[in-house]
Amino acid sequence: MTTETRPVASPLDPVALRADFPILDQEVRGHPLVYLDSAATSQKPTSVLRAMDDYYRRDNANVHRGIYALSERATADYEGARVKVARLIGVSDPHTIVWTRNATESLNLIAYSWGRRHIGRGDVIVLTEMEHHSNLVPWQILAQEKDADLEFIPIDDDGVLRQDVFEVLLRLKPKLVSFTHVSNMLGTVNPVEEMTRRAHEAGALVSIDGAQAVPHMPVDIGAIGADFYSFSGHKAMGPTGSGVLWARRELLESMPPFLGGGDMIREVHLRRSEWNDIPWKFEAGTPDISAAIGLGAAADYLMALGMDRVRAHEQELVAYALDVLPREVPGIELYGPAADQRGGVVSFNLPGVHPHDVAQVLDRFGVAIRAGHHCTMPLHERLDLSATARASFGVYNTPADIDALAAALREVQALFGG
């Protein structure tokens, strides 16, 4: 009896992939650019740039409204991009993909359209201490308006959510549980399938912020089982101004429009209107057509790479960083869980040096990182930190980039007497 083994996909070749990203072929202050800020926004491959350029050069027309060749081609590409993004995240019905400007708008859409109908006085919304402001502020506004209660799953000292406290909070019978798939500051990958299952058993709906997950790992929304899932296109190799809200069809059909105007209507009379079908009910006015087409091209690019391979590559990078940085940069303080529990994000501090100073000096060596609170001020308060520096990785990064980061950090320490 023989056992067949599944062939292992060849690893990514980031050196070869860099040729797909023209922005990386430059020097900054006399040094080759080392881009380590993909958690803020990813760089864009040529295929995405070409798709957007082709639209403006060849097909520039409004979608859905013109009965002529340019408009028909633009509409086909615009709606075709919706199909591609649905395939990327494991969704069988592309009409449950709503175009937004970013994950922030997607989360606000949920809060305004679903939340204002279903959250009332005394209702509980469960969030976590590690949320991006985009998954905090909309719920704060809603809770203040409706006199609802916000409760928070804390983290432990390793930056992992306290699942025992989550179990206690579920006894409050929350209406909604909303949490990030991957922390943009700690890199923590949360157990989304298990948390979704437990929340549903408690009678809650689940909203997941997937901005740091979709670009970096396989995401199967059907397997996760959430009710809402949001992400930004610009972090997933697509253009700025592109984002996605996915929600269960029955939820989208029951939710009122977020914005009113053209294209989101079926009929308009002086005193009443009838709404369009989903997803167009939530896409008022002329959309950012080129951004949607660009995001579709980005989805094609990621699927061609293979998200399993993307995840494996970034796990290798983060493991390398967590090994090299403490050895090569004495005294560096790292935050977050072990490599096998995190995405491609490493936040850190150099004692005695403000993160903004760290980032500014690194820029002298062509190394681009983030510095600040990364839109996670409550998480920084929990860790008793005013700010951190953050290096984050993409498919185009190599171990040599981490070596360059370590060398530049030693220069920071030398400059500041560390």
Name the residues annotated as catalytic. Answer: 375
State whether residue 124 is helix, strand or coil: strand
As to burial, measured by CB atoms within 10 angstroms (0-12 exposed, 13-18 middle, 19+ buried), residue 106 is buried
Give the count of alpha carbons within 13 A of 380, CB side only. Answer: 20
Interatomic CA distance for residues 403 and 97, integer angstroms: 40
Interatomic CA distance for residues 170 and 175, integer angstroms: 10
Cis previous bond, 279, omega within 30 = yes
Interatomic CA distance for residues 77 and 44, integer angstroms: 19
Q: Tokens 């997950």 sit at which residue?
A: 213
Interatomic CA distance for residues 215 and 234, integer angstroms: 9
As to burial, measured by CB atoms within 10 angstroms (0-12 exposed, 13-18 middle, 19+ buried), residue 351 is exposed
Are the beta carbons of 394 and 344 closer than 8 angstroms?
Answer: yes
Alpha helices for 1-136 (secondary structure H): 14-17, 46-54, 69-88, 103-109, 116-118
State whether residue 128 is helix, strand or coil: strand
Helix (H), strand (E) counts: the chain: 15, 17
What are the phi and psi torsion angles at 28 (to 5°)?
Answer: -120, 115
Cβ neighbours of 118 (radius 10 Å): 15
